[in-house]
Amino acid sequence: MKIIVAIKQVPMRDSPLHPDASGKWIDEADLSFEINEPDAYALEEALQLKEKHGGEVVVLCAGPERAAQTIREALAKGADRAIHIETADLAALDTLGVAKLLAAAVTAEKPDLILTGLQSDDLGSGQTGVVMAELLGVPHSTIIMQIEVRDASIRVKRELENGWFQHIEMPLPAALTIQSGSNKLRYATLMGIKKAKSKEIRRVTPAELGGTAAPVAAIEKIYLPQKSKQTQIFEGDAKTASAQLVEKLKFDARVL
């Protein structure tokens, strides 16, 4: 089966984040980047499906030149080839704009399955996979924990709220968004890293995919949240701060 995995490169977890001069996005100058964690799980799921059923795993990524590093890492983990949609300013597009580019790149590939993470760690809109499915006219399901491949269909385990789950069957081709933690992530082997160097990364421009439209939803301003609750922070070394905290818990909050 042919599987496309849409991945995104995002700032590393715990990066210090500050709005840039425009106030509309973050200052990316001193940041390091990595694969969006939920997308790493989508990639892992794709690689396991390939191991079970054979076929091909194609990584699809829209992003600036630096995203090539994250794409290489996905190839080193075992993806067969990649498509890199080179866009210098991904943040200027909205979900629909990004999904249109991704969908245009997917169309020619005619995959059986499209996987992506359930959301991105930066924008967190949780929509790209669903919008892509709609644009491609394929059925979808979200927050998927397991995929069972049948003849011309799949049966997936979808996470609901409060510890509930549900199985859903749908015909192929289909698009799924994958929940984090559903598998154990593999590391790239030395052999994998070596092999990745000769794997194909096809670079395409947004223009070749029909161009980009002005966003419908635009970020006007990005900023540090204002605190709604007064948090009392205890300073000093661990022992002093702990003693002050315990004092409060015992006599003010009365929970000890």
Partner 1 sequence: MSILVVLEQQSGQWHRMSWETLAAGQQLGATLGEPVETALLGKSLGALANVPATRKLAKVWAVEHDLLDSYTADGYAAALELLIQKTQPKLVLFPHTYQVRDFAPKLATRFSQVLVSDVIAARVETGAITFVRQFFQGKLNGDVRVSGAGPVFASLQAGAWRADALENGSAAVEIFAPTLDAGQIRQKPEPPFREAARAVDLTASEIIVSVGRGIGEQSNLPVVEDLAQAFGAELAASRPICDAGWLPMERQVGSSGQTVAPKLYVAVGISGAIQHLVGMKGAKTIVAINKDPNAPIFEVADYGIVGDLFEVAPALASEVRKAKGA
Greatest distance between any 2 Cα atoms in the chain: 67
Distance of CA 108 to the CA centre of its chain: 22
Contact status, residue 83 vs residue 105, Cβ threshold 8 Å: yes
Least distance CB 81 / partner 1 (angstroms)? 28
User: Can you tell me which of 92, 96, 149, 193 binds partner 1, judged by CB under 8 A?
Assistant: 96
Binding of residue 73 to partner 1 (CB under 8 A)? no
Instruction: Using CB under 8 A, count the residues that bind partner 1.
Output: 75
Residues 177-216 that bind partner 1 (CB under 8 A): 180-181, 215-216
Q: Which is nearer to partner 1, 79 or 156 (CB)?
A: 156
User: Can you tell me which of 151, 161, 191, 197 binds partner 1, judged by CB under 8 A?
Assistant: 161
Binding of residue 112 to partner 1 (CB under 8 A)? no
Binding of residue 36 to partner 1 (CB under 8 A)? no
Nearest to 199 by CA among 23, 67, 71: 71
Binding of residue 165 to partner 1 (CB under 8 A)? yes
Q: Which is nearer to partner 1, 110 or 251 (CB)?
A: 251
Q: What sign results for the dihedral spanned by CA atoms 85, 110, 114, 98?
A: positive
Residues 50-69 that bind partner 1 (CB under 8 A): none
Residues 233-252 that bind partner 1 (CB under 8 A): 233-234, 237-239, 241-243, 245-250
Nearest to 196 by CA among 82, 83, 72: 72
Which tokens belong to 163?
A: 């510890």
Which tokens belong to 135?
A: 């644009």
Which residue type does 8 have? Answer: K
